[in-house]
A and B are shown apart, each in its own frame.
Chain A
Amino acid sequence: MTNKINIDETISWQQITPGGNVCASGNSEDFHTGDWRTIKPVFIADKCNQCLLCAPVCPDMAIPVKDGKRGDFIYEYCKGCGICAKVCPVKAIEMKADN
């Protein structure tokens, strides 16, 4: 049980981890919260002044930051909560219907 195992709805009772305990770390990467989104943020790079207020308020990890600059959204991790758009002082994030 010391290694990360993949658990999906085919796993047997013999293989599942006791009590659902997760004996691994960093596994939120494998958890894609983006699949229950109804609206999505759209990044308008031209308006962005790279103040980086948006990145820390993201409850997941949908806003990648590299070398002090944010990049475009990773939608796999975006549940469309809209906090980033609310916090952006220059309206560089717009919430739109996710089709």
Chain B
Amino acid sequence: MSKLTEIRWHGRGGQGAKTAALLLADVAFSTGMYVQGFPEYGPERMGAPITAYNRISEDKIRVHSNIYEPNYVVVVDESLLESVPVAKGLKKDGAIIINTAKTPEEIKSNYPNYDCRIYTIDAKEISESTLGKYFPNTPMLAAVVKVSKLMDENRFLEEMKHSFEHKFAAKPNVIEGNMNALIMTLRRLDDDK
């Protein structure tokens, strides 16, 4: 079986975790991969914990279950660390990516059971400085691409620019802010290495 990457997103209703999963599916699709992007549906409530999933593979994907042993977990809302077992089933050689101002070391000391690589990214700060508003999913998307090495970074930026140009055709100033959010996230995670 060829390389299959499974990603689980944890967010809160209304934060855009589902959109982020669909964006990741989109961009991976654009680079020629087979993709799945799907949320777990239930009663829709703003602020309630939600889960979304990605499968990304070089081969056709047939399985249609949720993901229980992901390679990567993305936590879009830090407060979920307390209430949801976000690292459950996470592969030991995988990684968890958390939207927080804290360092990975601080997270590790608070959650010693996270038996994998830990990455943190302050999506709030990045989003507010580049977009002037809090949209965490753009930085989180860049972070998961960076950590998972799912695709070449330049290719990723190219595809995202293309996608933003399409999506925000009427609001060109938003394109630059979003691109800056992606680039800033990629750089921050460079510095972490």
Q: Do chains A and B directly touch (beta carbons under 8 Å) in the complex?
A: no
| A-binding residues in B (CB < 8 A) | none
